[in-house]
């Protein structure tokens, strides 16, 4: 726990130092996401599906290379299926909502320069995530403790700027287990639109 707090503190300090020294563009955005994780937790099968996200990125640096930290709220649903253990049991199905906070730390390259009518960039980095909450299902027991509180992913993305409008596609590859007591990493595809100023 202390190591995770130290890492987050270091990342935030890095952002503050970079903010003082570099040109900054603020990029609020909203979008939708699709998660691909299937896992069996005790006698419950969980399959993540679709959701929405909102957050803000900072673009720091002039020229071809830029630094891009962010803070994002993610909300997505998961289908829950409880196994049938004995003859006569009724299979149970439910749905839950999982909320998380993501802190992507990316570096990017501007492929078409900066400040023109059309800008294209690619970026990549790491994405620490923290589970904020889980809406408990009415029929299938699934709670926040069934998930790892902290996870880590590798992030790759492509962004397009038209004047001050932005569109971005990101793919996060889960590097650490998403569930407690079960295999399964959360891979997330997200598409977002926003503005920069």
Confidence of residue 58 (pLDDT cuts 50, 70, 90): very high
Query: 196 pLDDT exceeds 70?
Result: yes
Residue-level pLDDT at 80: 74
Query: 10 pLDDT exceeds 70?
Result: no
Residue-level pLDDT at 8: 58
Task: Count Cα atoms within 13 angstroms, Cβ side, for 61.
Answer: 16
d(CA 118, CA 112) in angstroms, rounded, equals: 8
Rounded to whole angstroms, what are the CA distances from 197 to 26, 115, 152?
5, 11, 29
pLDDT in tens, 141-167: 778 888 899 999 999 999 999 999 999
Q: Identify the structural domains of the chain with CATH numbers, from first to last.
A: 2-195 (2.40.160.20)
> Token pair 């998403």 is at which residue?
178
pLDDT in tens, 90-118: 556 777 889 999 999 999 999 997 777 89
């Amino acid at each position: 726990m202390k190591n995770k707090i130290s890492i987050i503190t270091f990342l935030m300090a890095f952002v503050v130092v970079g903010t003082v020294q570099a040109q900054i563009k603020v990029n609020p955005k909203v979008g939708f996401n699709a998660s691909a994780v299937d896992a069996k937790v005790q006698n419950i099968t969980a399959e993540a599906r679709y959701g929405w996200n909102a957050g803000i990125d900072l673009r720091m640096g002039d020229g071809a290379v830029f630094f891009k930290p962010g803070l994002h709220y993610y909300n997505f649903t998961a289908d829950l299926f409880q196994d049938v253990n004995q003859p006569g049991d009724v299979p149970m199905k439910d749905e839950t909502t999982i909320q998380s906070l993501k802190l992507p730390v990316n570096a990017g390259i501007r492929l078409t320069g900066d400040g023109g009518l059309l800008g294209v960039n690619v970026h990549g980095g790491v994405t620490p995530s923290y589970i904020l909450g889980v809406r408990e299902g009415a029929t299938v027991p699934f709670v926040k403790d069934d998930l790892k509180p902290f996870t880590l992913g590798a992030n790759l993305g492509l962004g397009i700027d038209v004047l001050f409008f932005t569109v971005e596609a990101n793919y996060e590859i889960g590097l650490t287990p998403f569930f407690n007591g079960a295999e399964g990493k959360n891979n997330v595809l997200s598409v977002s639109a926003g503005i920069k100023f």
